[in-house]
């Protein structure tokens, strides 16, 4: 771990400092995974912060690539690194008592009846998600799939040969499936060969099957977008690529180069973004994020409200009211091309939250025993509720 502390800009310094810097495997191998190395690389922090991180890492993973750390250091605007919106995403820094709402077991996105194989989730009528791998380049501490990705010794299955074959059979035998989404974790954690093999098998099922890939590699390890990967996406005619991104400070030159390369072979590139308190829950940050993505030719697609059952939920969970107010203002400021749908990722399916310009117009809240619930009817006409802040 000989590099990182002092790199203010990874692109500017990489050739002089490290010939391996642009090798995505080197980035993964040299990722920081413990509090001590991270504290040293960041120039130190208080014993209290150190204690909290160490405590939260019992049973939970942290992993930060040298590339992402270099972004944190290059973009920090205060000596207090804990205020960095990038640092806050990948470091479990909250107090234990702030775990409000997280029971360590509930995961409200993967319902048992939707799991057709250990890795194949069929939630919506015409598409399935294949959870190809539980690993990621770095770990977002707000992960919506926390039980797969963040939990040490997750009991959720990776895509072994058997579960992958079972999933192919399910897709073959289910004509209503028009689209297959490769997700995870991050499917780009697989090797190029493995991805090539997997995409070939999916493409072979039906010529007109839509194939979509979701990844956060561009923010955590943009060097993952190799020539071989681009060839693979092209060869199997991947139809759409979802870039996961959270903050404009993540839109580096490396990120943009990786986007351009994907755009050269995949017709539709879009972005999914979480809405996180203290990270991007303000109008100016989201405005810059959406407009900069639009400039790159990436369609801002969904802005996801935080899921209630994730570690550190009270740290990251903003209020729905705040999100509606911000998105309503942005709707007047930017074109719809730059404006994502703001959605609640409820276990019974995503719900697009209507935008209103003043609070009196919002009929969806109900207060019960002092707690405020947002109520809505989902895509299956089922009544759902969401405990708001």
Residues that bind ligand SF4 (CB under 6 A): 136, 139-140, 143, 145, 149, 184-186, 216, 244
Q: CB of residue 264 vs ligand SF4: minimum separation in angstroms?
A: 23
Is cis: bond before 3, omega within 30 of 0? no
Q: Chain-centre distance of CA 75, in angstroms? A: 20
Q: How far apart are CA 202 and CA 205, in angstroms?
A: 5
- Closer CB to ligand SF4, 156 or 329, in the complex: 156
- Closer CB to ligand SF4, 119 or 324, in the complex: 119
Q: How far apart are CA 85 and CA 274, in angstroms?
A: 13
Q: Which residues pair with 373 in a beta bridge?
A: 366, 387
- Closer CB to ligand SF4, 216 or 317, in the complex: 216
> How many Cβ atoms from other residues are within 10 Å of residue 148's Cβ?
25
- Closer CB to ligand SF4, 128 or 355, in the complex: 128
Q: CB of residue 145 vs ligand SF4: minimum separation in angstroms?
A: 5
CB 342 within 8 A of CB 323: yes
Q: Which residues pair with 55 in a beta bridge?
A: none
Q: CB of residue 2 vs ligand SF4: minimum separation in angstroms?
A: 26
Q: Which residues pair with 303 in a beta bridge?
A: 273, 342
Q: CB of residue 143 vs ligand SF4: minimum separation in angstroms?
A: 3
- Closer CB to ligand SF4, 18 or 27, in the complex: 27
- Closer CB to ligand SF4, 148 or 236, in the complex: 148
Q: CB of residue 135 vs ligand SF4: minimum separation in angstroms?
A: 8
Q: CB of residue 259 vs ligand SF4: minimum separation in angstroms?
A: 17
- Closer CB to ligand SF4, 117 or 149, in the complex: 149
- Closer CB to ligand SF4, 136 or 180, in the complex: 136
**How many CA atoms lie less than 13 Å away from 145 in the CB half-sphere?**
22
- Closer CB to ligand SF4, 70 or 89, in the complex: 89
Q: CB of residue 216 vs ligand SF4: minimum separation in angstroms?
A: 4
Contacts of 157 (CB under 8 A, 6+ apart): 118, 119, 131, 163
Q: CB of residue 110 vs ligand SF4: minimum separation in angstroms?
A: 12
Q: CB of residue 250 vs ligand SF4: minimum separation in angstroms?
A: 12
Q: CB of residue 233 vs ligand SF4: minimum separation in angstroms?
A: 19
Q: Helix 283-295 vs helix 320-333: angle between axes, to the nearest 10 degrees?
A: 50
- Closer CB to ligand SF4, 45 or 68, in the complex: 68
């Amino acid at each position: 771990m000989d590099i990182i502390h002092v790199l203010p800009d990874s692109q500017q310094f990489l050739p002089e400092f490290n010939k391996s810097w642009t090798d995505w495997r080197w980035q993964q191998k040299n990722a920081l995974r413990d509090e001590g190395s991270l504290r040293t690389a960041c120039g130190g922090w208080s014993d209290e912060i150190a204690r909290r991180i160490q405590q939260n890492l019992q049973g939970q993973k942290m992993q930060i690539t040298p590339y992402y750390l270099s972004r944190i250091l290059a973009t920090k605007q205060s000596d207090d690194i804990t205020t960095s919106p990038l640092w806050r995403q990948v470091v479990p820094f909250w107090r234990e008592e702030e775990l409000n709402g997280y029971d360590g077991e509930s995961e409200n996105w993967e319902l048992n009846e939707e799991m057709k194989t250990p890795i194949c989730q069929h939630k919506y009528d015409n598409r399935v998600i294949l959870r190809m791998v539980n690993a990621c380049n770095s770990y977002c501490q707000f992960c919506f799939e926390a039980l797969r990705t963040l939990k040490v010794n997750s009991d959720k299955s990776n895509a072994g040969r058997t579960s992958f074959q079972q999933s192919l059979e399910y897709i073959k035998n289910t004509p209503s499936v028009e689209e297959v989404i490769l997700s995870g974790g991050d499917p780009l954690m697989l090797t190029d060969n493995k991805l090539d093999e997997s995409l070939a098998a999916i493409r072979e099922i039906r010529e007109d099957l839509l194939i979509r890939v979701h990844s956060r590699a561009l923010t955590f390890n943009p060097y993952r977008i190799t020539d071989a990967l681009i060839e693979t996406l092209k060869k199997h005619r991947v139809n759409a690529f979802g870039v996961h991104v959270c903050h404009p400070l993540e839109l580096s030159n490396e990120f943009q180069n990786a986007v351009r390369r994907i755009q050269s072979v995949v017709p539709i590139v879009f972005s999914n973004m979480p809405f996180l308190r203290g990270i991007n829950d303000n109008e100016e940050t989201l405005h810059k994020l959406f407009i900069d993505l639009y400039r790159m030719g990436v369609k801002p697609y969904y802005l996801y409200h935080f899921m209630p059952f994730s570690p550190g939920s009270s740290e990251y969970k903003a209020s729905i009211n705040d999100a509606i107010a911000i998105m309503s203002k942005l709707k007047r400021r930017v074109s719809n091309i730059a404006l994502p749908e703001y959605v609640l990722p409820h276990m019974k399916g995503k719900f697009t939250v209507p935008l209103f310009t003043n609070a009196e117009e919002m009929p969806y809240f109900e207060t019960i025993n002092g707690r405020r619930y947002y109520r809505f009817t989902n895509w299956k006409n089922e009544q759902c509720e969401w405990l708001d802040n």
